[in-house]
A and B are shown apart, each in its own frame.
Chain A
Amino acid sequence: MRIVASLICGLIFGAGLLISGMVQPSKVLGFLDIFGAWDPSLAVVMAAALAVSVPGFRLAGQRTGPLLAKHYLWPTRSAIDSQLVMGTAMFGIGWGLVGLCPGPALESLATLSPGVIVFVVAMAAGMALHDVWRMSGPTARSSAPLVAAADD
């Protein structure tokens, strides 16, 4: 059931990206291009998403656990450290270069666009590079799973 639920959530997420236009790099870049013909749509998308997610997460948090699994896996990291700053800065640059981020990129694979495939392959490579780099550093412990690949 968890698999079906995840599939449905993916479909809804995808529908949201489609309907809001966020799957189109031109809409995203239109928001980021504050010195050009500015399109505030992305701000409305975020506001609407947060209008649902803020109360929604609070309500979910009042339950002891999810409906189809044993535990909530709420992200736990709270530090504002150099990794956060460096990582998010890099992410922003990549996002601003082309107007694609993971969700829209993966959804756009449906168009079989060669450019999208290049982006997704490069994104996967970037992710893998990071994970390999983290695993090989002096602080890495080879037996530790990679933080369940979780967002924080």
Chain B
Amino acid sequence: MIAAGLLFLPLQNGWKSGMFNFTPLSAAIGGALIGASAVLLMLLTGRNAGISGIFGGLLNLRGEDKGWRIAFVAGLTLAPAVAGLIGYGMTTPILPSNWGVIAAAGLLVGFGARLGGGCTSGHGICGIGRLSQRSIVATMIFMATAVITVAITHHVLGE
């Protein structure tokens, strides 16, 4: 049944009016898989599926349990190759040509995720999934600053 659903994904037509690119079916299926992986990780290993925490723990030389972290990140990075085997390979992401902007973004994401205690998965999916008020607030804040940032870079700075 899942295979049949996946077959329909490329045929899915979104609502294309010029630039409108809504893909609700694949969004829902993908989202459900993300939620399922978070639940499974907790149910099986007792660990929270916040990527900034999982990866941050790898970097922190005094952090514990590197094995499961390496395994999770490996799974994440191998998924495109596995998907490629069944014809769903990944295209190279479109990024700004200015590496300074990319580096600044990375620094802010890394520092901010550690300072704020989570990222889109840690707060947005796992935290809200636990009905944590802290994570609900966190998600609202980073959504707001992200929207403002895009508004400025896309519409004020004339990119």
Contacts and interface: CB of A to CB of B under 8 A. Distances in A.
A143 B71 CA distance: 28
Residue of A17, A77, A109, A124 most packed against chain B (CB within 10 A): A17
B96 interface: yes
A59 B44 CA distance: 13
Contact of B106 (A5, A66, A94, A108): A94
A24 B27 CA distance: 12
Chain B, interface size: which category?
35 or more
A68 B43 CA distance: 8
Given A127-B111, A148-B64, A151-B48, A17 B30 contact: yes
Chain A, interface size: which category?
35 or more
A96 B141 CA distance: 12
Contact of B27 (A10, A48, A87, A152): A48
B134 A92 contact: no
Interface string B115-159: 111111111111111111111011101111111111101110000
Given A8-B75, A91-B112, A78 B34 contact: no
A92 B45 contact: no
A105 B131 CA distance: 26
A53 B39 contact: yes
A10 B93 contact: no
Contacts of B27: 20-21, 41-42, 44-45, 48
A20 B36 CA distance: 14
Interface in B18-48: 18-24, 26-48
Given A53-B129, A124-B59, A86 B115 contact: yes
B5 to A, nearest CB: 10
Closest 7 CB pairs of A and B: A10-B75, A20-B30, A87-B116, A14-B79, A126-B110, A122-B106, A94-B108
Given A5-B45, A57-B130, A127-B110, 6 more contacts: A6-B71, A23-B90, A24-B91, A39-B22, A91-B145, A92-B146
30 contacts: A3-B67, A7-B74, A8-B75, A11-B76, A13-B34, A13-B75, A13-B79, A16-B33, A23-B80, A24-B91, A24-B93, A32-B146, A36-B155, A40-B24, A46-B125, A52-B31, A52-B36, A53-B39, A74-B48, A88-B118, A89-B116, A95-B120, A97-B149, A101-B109, A111-B91, A111-B92, A122-B103, A122-B104, A151-B53, A151-B123
